[in-house]
Amino acid sequence: MTREWYIRPAELRDLHQLVEIEDAQFPEPWSQQLLRDELTTASHRRYTVAEHQDVVVGVLGLMLIEDDAHINTIATRPEWEGRGVARSLLDEALPVIAAEGYRRMTLEVAVSNARARALYTAYGFEPLGVRKQYYRVTNEDALVLVKYWQRDSHEP
């Protein structure tokens, strides 16, 4: 089936739609100002969106520091979930990140977030550690997951 959306770099004009998705999908949503900073002044960022007819249906935000890539955010507009939007964002980004020489990708995910955890498992992410009570609103622990392209000798 032909995909109904395409992937492109995020732009400032997407801000209000990113806020909508953030508010709809996260118990501790990032503020408009924080998202604006991510798109404008923050360095070492790579934000992409999935767009369908002027509607942003998903977003992936990476922070790229030294040889580490970190998933700052990934979210799909609720009514678009389960159609492969998140997969397509990762499918676009991961080969580019690997080719640019990043050694690994990390992220935090709430322990109870089965949907996201299934997604990451499918992409070969593995457990690295736990951050206790990382999410302040829910008081929930975060799992830190990692996907390696190059593993240092001290890394299991």
Whether the CB-CB separation of 19 and 69 falls below 8 Å is answered with no
Instruction: Mark whether 102 is an active-site residue.
Output: no
Q: Which of 25, 32, 72, 106 binds ligand COA (CB under 6 A)?
A: 25
- Does the footprint of ligand COA cover residue 113 (CB under 6 A)? yes
- Residues contacting ligand COA: total by CB under 6 A: 21
- Does the footprint of ligand COA cover residue 130 (CB under 6 A)? no
**4 alpha-carbon distance from chain centroid:** 20
DSSP structural state of residue 29: P
> 57: which 2 tokens?
């249906």
Q: What is the DSSP string of 39-84?
A: HTT-SSEEEEEEEETTEEEEEEEEEEETTEEEEEEEEE-GGGTTSS
- Does the footprint of ligand COA cover residue 86 (CB under 6 A)? yes
> Distance between CA 125 and CA 148 in Å, rounded?
8
Site string for ligand COA, 44-83 (x = CB under 6 A): --------------x---------------xxx----xxx
Instruction: Mark whether 108 is an active-site residue.
Output: yes
Name the residues annotated as catalytic: 108, 120
Residues lying near ligand COA in the complex (CB under 6 A) are found at 25, 58, 74-76, 81-87, 107, 109, 113-116, 118-119, 122
